[in-house]
Structure 1
Amino acid sequence: MTTINGWLIYRKKDILRNRAFITMLKDATKSRGILLEVIPYEQLSLSVSQHDLILPLTDQNMLNKPDFIINRSVSPWLNEVVELQGIRCFNQAYVARIANDKRLAHAVLANIDIPMLHTTAVHRDFFTATESHFPSSYILKDPLGRGGTGVELIDPSRGISNLSTTLPEDLLHQPVGGKKGKDLRIYIVGNKIVGAVLRESATDFRANISIGGNSSFYQLREHEISTVEKITDAMQMDFVGLDFLIAEDGSLLFNEMEDAVGCRSLYMTSSINIAEIFIEYIYQEISQ
């Protein structure tokens, strides 16, 4: 059996925190002739000025050029450079770029008529002159934030003057909407629905597990599957999480697309081994 070489890229700070999922991925490669090397993002040195590009490491011997890369370092530029070298990247660059920028994700999905809250990309200075135009509470988000970070519920009586250190200059503005402290994450591998979890918080308007929310396995209904399939029909997603708010009438409102999606809530609430499913998908893609 010919060995397939793969690189799994994480930032150093995330390797320890994701050790259980990394182990699951590596275990899934053993029966498929895949050698999966965990590569810290900070140790990569990429030549971007040559046509024959090999990806060396700065502190160890040169590794063989990989047959594929799983990039979970939240750096979509890397997906694009890797694809220019003819190396298969999971996710592909187009999806990684969209999934890591909420502005792009909303614009692309609005273009295919996926329901969502009214969402506006703005600069912080926009609010200096127009804060008084927002009499009700609203949400400001870091468009590049993830895991519930960089999301603030704004009291219009206080304004944004106290947010200088918590949010960037470029922002995403949304009204408060959906059922408070509740959202639905749907896991996609190879454009197929693998499973879904309902995330809830009794103490926060955000339901992310990483900031104290609870989760339970969720059986999708027919209209929810139809919404997801409308998205998968529009783009090829290797491995993503689609997050939806739940409207008062029970319909879904798109909220976020996660590229390096966290899976703990899925394998804690079900018997689904999404790492096994993902590696089998990679194997089939690379072996074609």
Structure 2
Amino acid sequence: MNKTGWIIYNGSLSGDKFIDFAEMLYKAAVDRNHTAKIIKNNELSTMLTKDSLTIEAETDVELPDYVIFTDKDLYLARQLELLGVPVFNSAKTIEISDDKITTYQYLAKEKLPIPKTIVAPKVFVRNNNISNYINLNQIVETLGMPIIVKEAFGSFGEQVYLIETMEELREKVDQLYGKAFMFQEFISSSYGTDLRLQVVGDEVVAAMKRTSNDDFRANITAGATMEAYTPTEEEISLAVRAAKAIGADFSGVDLLFGPDNKPIICEINSNAHIRNLLDATGINAADFMISYAERVINGGLIRE
């Protein structure tokens, strides 16, 4: 039976990479004889009344068999789920992945290797005396210096900071006061280098190594280079376990090289873009993602 699928992306974001991701998924769906449609999240309205909850659009819409959700519009994703539509990834997974603090909490619960992390306290009222807010000396004593300060919400490495001195640390904490952020130990053995493993279901379908010569972060958008990488069994197992810890059907799991080359989880991206991975490896993860969704909705695969 022909399947119908929506690929939803954020219509308010500029840049070709967002529509490119959607188009890669669209082509993979069409190649499997699905009737697919690319839809901007702002083309749909989440309608709630006393008697019903619906999805509204300018023209009448018939809900699809599945949705691949490349956006972070949790309310729309959850509305679709409440209407009985399988959404990949789920609203809960997107919510966990979008909040890096929550992600680390789920990973720590499963006893998976992560950088040692201290979460900054939640504040509501500005107090200009930072010493009354948090004991930075104790944090540095625990995590060392240099130290990583990372905002809970952010993309492409832009909200991650390497702090070298106490003065810098006080300035950064002052700048972030009122936001959700954390302090992390700096994994110096992975300076400017990390791994991206693309997980789909129970397998790693592609992997690449990213390297920067002039930045502690290895994000391609920040100028890092990439190359195909063959992960070890330990790295594969860890990436799959990390994805499962947040309930992800598919995700880009970033690993750091810890001491003695032991892998450490850096981040999990529930809507990781896959163009760079294709360019580096020749493997199109979209094909695996659509195949996975098809198996789930056909009843041949149980989502955990």
Q: Decide: shared fold, TM above 0.5.
A: yes
Once residues 87 and 76 of structure 2 are traced to their aligned partners in structure 1, the CA distance between those partners, rounded to angstroms, is 9
Q: Deviation string for 1:181-230 (max 9, x for gaps)?
A: 11111101123211111111111111011111111111011222232343
User: Relative to 1, partners in 2 of residues 1:156 and 1:247: Cα closer, same or farther, differing over 3 Å?
Assistant: same
Once residues 177 and 43 of structure 2 are traced to their aligned partners in structure 1, the CA distance between those partners, rounded to angstroms, is 29
Q: Deviation string for 1:23-51 (max 9, x for gaps)?
A: 32222222433222222223331013456
Correspondence 1:251 to 2:262: yes
Residues 255-266 of structure 1 correspond to what in structure 2 (within 5 A)? 255-266=266-277
Amino acid at match of 1:128: I
Once residues 14 and 86 of structure 2 are traced to their aligned partners in structure 1, the CA distance between those partners, rounded to angstroms, is 23
Residue in 2 that maps onto 1:198: 209
Which stretch shows the higher mean deviation, 250-259 or 228-237?
Answer: 228-237
Amino acid at match of 2:18: N
Q: Deviation string for 1:240-287 (max 9, x for gaps)?
A: 111111113101111111011021221011121111111121222223
Residues 1-288 of structure 1 correspond to what in structure 2 (within 5 A)? 1-14=1-14, 16-49=16-49, 52-57=52-57, 60-123=58-121, 128-129=130-131, 130-133=135-138, 134=140, 136-154=145-163, 155-161=165-171, 169-177=179-187, 178-231=189-242, 234=245, 236-288=247-299
Once residues 61 and 15 of structure 1 are traced to their aligned partners in structure 2, the CA distance between those partners, rounded to angstroms, is 27
CA shift at 1:169, angstroms? 1.7
Q: Is the 8 A contact 2:7 2:70 kept in 1?
A: no
Q: Is the 8 A contact 2:208 2:281 kept in 1?
A: no
Number of aligned residue pairs:
286
Q: Deviation string for 1:138-171 (max 9, x for gaps)?
A: 1111111121121112232233435666786211
User: Relative to 1, partners in 2 of residues 1:124 and 1:138: Cα closer, same or farther, differing over 3 Å?
Assistant: farther
How high is the TM-score relative to the length of structure 1? 0.88
User: Relative to 1, partners in 2 of residues 1:95 and 1:191: Cα closer, same or farther, differing over 3 Å?
Assistant: farther
Unaligned runs of 5+ in 1: none
Q: Is the 8 A contact 1:116 1:253 kept in 2?
A: yes
Once residues 63 and 113 of structure 2 are traced to their aligned partners in structure 1, the CA distance between those partners, rounded to angstroms, is 42
Q: Is the 8 A contact 1:196 1:218 kept in 2?
A: yes
Amino acid at match of 2:136: E
Once residues 194 and 276 of structure 2 are traced to their aligned partners in structure 1, the CA distance between those partners, rounded to angstroms, is 13
Which stretch shows the higher mean deviation, 265-274 or 31-40?
Answer: 31-40
Which stretch shows the higher mean deviation, 5-14 or 63-72?
Answer: 5-14
Amino acid at match of 1:170: A
Unaligned runs of 5+ in 2: 300-304
Once residues 198 and 119 of structure 1 are traced to their aligned partners in structure 2, the CA distance between those partners, rounded to angstroms, is 24
Once residues 109 and 91 of structure 1 are traced to their aligned partners in structure 2, the CA distance between those partners, rounded to angstroms, is 18
Residue in 1 that maps onto 2:302: none
How high is the TM-score relative to the length of structure 2? 0.84
Let me know the Cα RMSD of the aligned residues. Answer: 2.5
Which stretch shows the higher mean deviation, 134-143 or 216-225?
Answer: 134-143
Q: Deviation string for 1:61-88 (max 9, x for gaps)?
A: 1322222222211233433332122111
Q: Is the 8 A contact 1:7 1:66 kept in 2?
A: no
Once residues 254 and 142 of structure 1 are traced to their aligned partners in structure 2, the CA distance between those partners, rounded to angstroms, is 16
